[in-house]
Amino acid sequence: MCEQVRGRDTLGGLYKAGQALTAALSGNFGSRHFVSSIVRDTAMSFKQYSGGSRSSQRNFSLSGGNAGGRMSSAASGLGLGSGSRTLLVGNSYGGGRSLGIGSSYGMGSSLGMGSSFGASSSMYTSSVGGLNEKAEMQNLNDRLAHYLEQVRSLEASNSRMELEIRQFYEKTAPATRDWSAYWATINGLRGQIDNVILDNSRLMLQIDNSKLAAEDFKSKFEAELGIRMSVDADIHGLRAMLDDMTLKKSQLEMEIESLKEELIYIRKNHEEALRGLRGQISGNVNVEVTTEQTPDLVKMLNEMRLQYDQVVQKNKAELENWYSQQCVTVRQEFAVNTEVIKTENAQLTQLRQTYQGLEMEYHGLLSMIASLEGNLGDIENSYGMKRDKLQMDINRMESDMVEIRLKLDQNVKSYAVLLDIKNRLEKEIETYRRLLTGSSQSFSGQSMDTSKTVVIRTEKQPVITKVVKTVVEETINGEVVKSYSENIVS
């Protein structure tokens, strides 16, 4: 009866180990210690038969035939992570089948438990199908041992792959360079660039102010030039008027000359007429004839002469007065305009000199801007080369990431193979349970006297868990496209 209880407990432990294996294979592909957890859960399924040593060895032997047999269970030990316990069993049964299981495990701490059972009974059962069950159990035991060997090899392969991945990351990790030595030069160049930009802005402001001043002087010059042109026009008009006055003066002088000639002619005619009359009077008889008094022509001519002389003197005085006044006015205006023209010419000369100086300064600034643009182009080219180099490094790292992903896909495929193995193990565990259930039903109905003494001593050890978080980012042209993280628990 005690052996039947132990069989059911073992079946339950194996079933739990299968469930743990299913969870490990389906949800812990990214964990590097899932194989160790499978081994640990499988070992827990045998803790009903464990002993106090670090390596466990379990042996079941069954010998029998048609008449009956004897099954004995030797002491066994199993070391687990939280402790160990010792179980001593002594039983004797008669039966018709044999069962043998051999496995060994090693863990880190110990759990001790002692128990004793005493029972005596005898039973005889038939051995129908015993040989087939024995062969099936041996096959299952062999496959279980082969599975454990595969677990150990996969665990070693997993550790080896982790070491290779770590070495690969150490090799492909970009070398960090110390750029602190260049920061002083960069800061100095930045300061120089800022100073040049400020000087350029200051010079541009001065150029704008000079342009505004030049435009102001230009407008003033144009205004003064208009005034000068108007004065020149007035002078030209006065000169035309002077010419007209001169022409009129010459005409009046010609008229005076003609009048003088006419007066001389009239006087000559008058004298000739007087001489003729005197000659007639002296040659003729003096006859007194009373006649009307004739007008005195000489007196009339003298009066006309006086009138014309007065008119000529008056016109001459008026013309001389007007001409002198106009000449004085024109001379004054000409003197004033001459001074203004001299001042404007001096200002124009000064503005031309200022314009030439500003133009030379402007050309110098243009050459400085061209040189600064050339330096800026060189700096952009150098930084462009560095950027291209970094882009090549990024592309190389992306290709390395693609290779790592391919390796991960291969690992996933290998994990799928392990999942298939897990499914087969579940079937084997189901077969174990069916066989053990059949064996427990064959022992039902038997009565047994059992005395049991159990002493349990447990020593707990601290558990240290280490979590390593790996963050992987995919970047294209400096932008993060995809990012995911993996947690590795150890």
Q: Six-digit token pair at 488?
A: 């590795």
Instruction: Considering only residues 340 and 294, tell me which one the structure prediction assigns the higher pLDDT.
Output: 340
Whole-angstrom distance, CA of residue 303 vs CA of residue 261: 17
Query: Cβ(81)–Cβ(110) under 8 Å?
Result: no
Give Cα 320 to chain centroid, integer Å.
94
Contact partners, residue 2, CB within 8 Å, separation at least 6: 89, 91, 117, 119, 448, 450, 452
Closest CA to 272 of 249, 297, 253: 297
Closest CA to 44 of 4, 83, 80: 80
Mean pLDDT of the region 417-431: 88
Cα–chain center distance at 111? 62
Q: Which residues contact 245 (CB under 8 A, 6 or more apart)?
A: 319, 322, 323, 326
Mean pLDDT of 410-429: 89
Mean pLDDT of 35-53: 45
Q: Name which residue leads in pLDDT, 374 or 479.
A: 374
How sure is the predictor about 490, in pLDDT bands with cuts at 50, 70 and 90? low
DSSP state of 30: T
Structure confidence by residue, pLDDT tens digits, 55-113: 333 333 333 333 333 333 333 333 333 333 333 333 333 333 333 333 333 333 333 33
Stretch among 140-149, 284-293, 411-420 having the lowest mean pLDDT: 284-293
CB 453 within 8 A of CB 115: yes
Distance between start and end Cα atoms, the chain: 42
What's the pLDDT at 464?
52
DSSP state of 115: E
User: CB neighbours (10 Å) of residue 450?
Assistant: 11
Task: Give me the pLDDT at residue 321, please.
Answer: 85
- Measured in whole angstroms, the distance separating CA 130 from the mean position of its chain's CA atoms is 78
Domain ranges of the chain: 2-175+443-462, 221-277+296-390
CA–CA separation, 384 vs 397, rounded Å? 20
